[in-house]
Structure 1
């Protein structure tokens, strides 16, 4: 298996300023993410940064990084530029590991890459896991996904899908429908050629409504294979509270 991990990193963050450089047990978070990704079977791990300070922090700790434009609208746009800078194209496999996931499981990265390489009918792969609490199904910040018989994504939504005909799902409900709904995990595998042309695709109406970029892929008739993991991944970092939680986990190791 041959693939490259790309980690997009943007210095500006509304909820957590300078997030990629936040200290976690003596190392910047972006370095923690890259080191974790390097435990996968990836042939290379490269940070796609929007600021020289991130590149410098990576270089200080032996992490490869490329400097991309600062005006990219999305992480996918940044990764597309990184592919061009690295000469990745065609059927080359790229796995996008988010820069705020210092506890990402290396085995999950491998599974995402392997699934894409096994599925010639798909231009992307991603991951999901079973929701185990009704509160998550009702939470619009928890993205849900439904699959077809071949394990490809039919739709992603912030709404509770699939809808349970026989009863309203709410945080006070005693049980979830069976089989359990799936929570989407924000980890993506791409064929590099598709990733490089993705930013030029017209944004989808559904994408704008749901604020979910992956819906552009489905809207244009492309397919996304989904790996269903046995359990939820470790927590990511979006807020100062998340950062303290992750720091505590590293301190306990």
Structure 2
């Protein structure tokens, strides 16, 4: 299976400016992300950035960086610019790994790429995991996904979908979540066919996307099929805050690069 990993990495961040360069065990966070991607079966790993500082750091540890525009509205647009600059074939598979996921298991990168390769009628593949915690089900920051019987996404929402009418309308709602109800939390790891990336950047944000603030709804709106698989393992949370950064530092403290 041939695929390329692209890691979008912006210097600007409202919560943690310069986040990709944050030190974790003597190395920048972007290097840890690179290492996780390099452990996968990807034929090539590329960091897409609009920052010379990040590009210099990447070159310093022997990685490949591609400079991109600084006005992209999303990481998907940055991904498409890289695919175009490298003249990737329309059927090529590109996996988007976030630049703030230093603990992402390489197995999940391989899984999502394989999922797309095995679904020729799909343009995108992504992962999910079962929800068993009531707080997560009703948390708008935990995106839920509903699939059909072939694993294709029907809808993504910040609301608890599907809505269990018989249970939730009796007032039991957040206090009761059956283990077998079939609720799933979306994991934001994507594999794309390059042809979809070229289409996506030409589509304007759609009403559902604006309402939910979920970019993947733009693809569904335009009829693109998204194949969803249940993750083989639960990925650790990424880095959004200083507390997250400290948590990752503690977890990786004392580990060699081979042990991470």
TM-score (norm 1): 0.96
Alignment of 1:105-124 (within 5 A): 105-124=105-124
Matched residues in 2 for 1:195 and 1:243: separation? 31
**2: CA distance between counterparts of 1:74 and 1:29?**
20
How much does 1:234 deviate? 1.1
**Distance in 1 of aligned mates of 2:34 and 2:28:** 10
Q: Aligned partners of 1:141, 1:170: CA distance in 2, in Å?
A: 18
C-alpha distance in structure 2 between counterparts of 1:156 and 1:167, whole Å: 21
Note if contact 2:108-2:232 (Cα within 8 Å) is conserved in structure 1. Answer: no
Q: Which runs of 5+ in 1 are unaligned?
A: none
Distance 1:26 1:200 in 2: 41
CA distance in 2, matches of 1:230, 1:81: 30
SS of match in other structure, 1:215: helix
Cross-structure match for 1:23: 23
* 1:235–1:246 Cα contact (<8 Å) kept: no
What residue is the counterpart of 1:73 in the other structure? 73
- Counting only pairs closer than 5 Å after superposition, residues 25-174 of structure 1 correspond to structure 2 as 25-168=25-168, 170-171=173-174, 173-174=175-176
Unaligned 5+ runs, structure 2: 256-260
State the Cα deviation string for residues 141-169 of structure 1 (Å, max 9, x = none).
Answer: 11110100100100000111111112236
* Matched residue SS, 1:155: strand
Distance across 1 between alignment mates of 2:250 and 2:127: 26
Match of 2:194 in 1: 192
Q: What is the alpha-carbon distance in structure 2 between the residues aligned to residue 66 and residue 48 of structure 1?
A: 5
The residue that corresponds to 1:176 in the other structure is 178
| Number of aligned residue pairs | 252
Report the RMSD for the aligned CA atoms in angstroms: 1.3
Contact 1:164–1:177 (Cα < 8 Å) also in 2: no
Instruction: Give the 3-state SS of the residue equivalent to 1:55 in structure 2.
Output: helix
1:180 Cα deviation after fit? 3.5
CA contact (8 A) 2:108 2:233 kept: no
Q: How far apart are 1:66 and its partner, in Å? A: 0.3
Q: Using the alignment, how far apart are the partners of 2:59 and 2:233 within structure 1?
A: 34
Once residues 30 and 202 of structure 2 are traced to their aligned partners in structure 1, the CA distance between those partners, rounded to angstroms, is: 28
1:250 to 245, 249, 252: 252
Q: Verify the 8 A CA contact 1:93 1:190 in the aligned structure 2.
A: yes
**Stretches (4+) displaced over 6 A:** none
1:128–1:184 Cα contact (<8 Å) kept: yes
8 Å CA contact 1:50–1:70 kept in 2: the answer is yes
Instruction: Kindly indicate whether the alpha-carbon contact (under 8 Å) linking 1:132 and 1:180 is maintained by their aligned counterparts in 2.
Output: no
Name the TM-score, length of structure 2 as normaliser: 0.94
1-side partners of 2:130 and 2:251: how far apart?
A: 23
Tell me how far apart the structure 2 counterparts of residues 149 and 202 of structure 1 sit (CA, whole Å).
30
SS class of match (1:232): coil
